[in-house]
Amino acid sequence: MASTNEVRDALTAASRAFKAAGAESLRTIGLHPGQDFLLVALLEEDTLTTGELARRLRVESPTVTRMAQRMEVAGLVRRASDPDDARRTRNSLTRRGREVAAALPKLLDDVLDRAVEGLTAGELDRLRDALTLIAENLGWGETSEGADTSAEA
């Protein structure tokens, strides 16, 4: 049986390598890590407030504000005051943002294919199950709540 240190080190190395490979791929389409999650969230829902995005991404509202501002400058996101509550900012994708978001699945699938090369179908099933359990154990299951984003609803 593997020691705690061996498991922790292997999980950390795999996580860091996967993040680095993903970041490298995202750079090829002009994105920074994390911006892909924002694009996908807006692709799924069309328009979300900063607070709604923060809850979905499990980050604080100021983090989303800064990210959306950078993405607005890059022409990916449109930001506007909520007509019903000027304290809220509504975020949506531009045409260019939709185009970039459409390229994400293939790009990220390519990273995953590289990461799991050599694993059998059974090993992939066990890996998925183990990673799902780890996420659930750490409070990142499908129904768990994200970070406190009470600054903006």
What element of type H or E holds 77? strand 77-82
What pLDDT was estimated at residue 86?
87
pLDDT for res 2: 87
- d(Cα 2, Cα 76) in Å, to the nearest integer? 45
The set of residues, in sequence order, having a beta carbon less than 8 Å from that of 145 and lying 6+ positions away, is: 55
Please determine, for residue 104, whether its predicted confidence score (pLDDT) is greater than 60: yes
| 3-class secondary-structure state, position 59 | coil
Checking if the pLDDT of 121 tops 50, the result is yes
3 state DSSP class of 15 = helix
Amino acid at the residue 127: L
DSSP 118: T
Q: Report the alpha-carbon distance of residue 56 to residue 11 in Å, rounded.
A: 24
For the record, the structure tokens of 94 come out as 């531009």
pLDDT tens-place string over residues 33-53: 999 999 999 999 999 999 999
Distance CA 74, CA 85 (A): 26
Mean pLDDT of all residues belonging to the chain: 91
- The per-residue pLDDT for 142 is 63
Whether 102 has a pLDDT exceeding 70, the answer reads yes
Provide the CA 119 distance to its chain's centre, in angstroms: 25
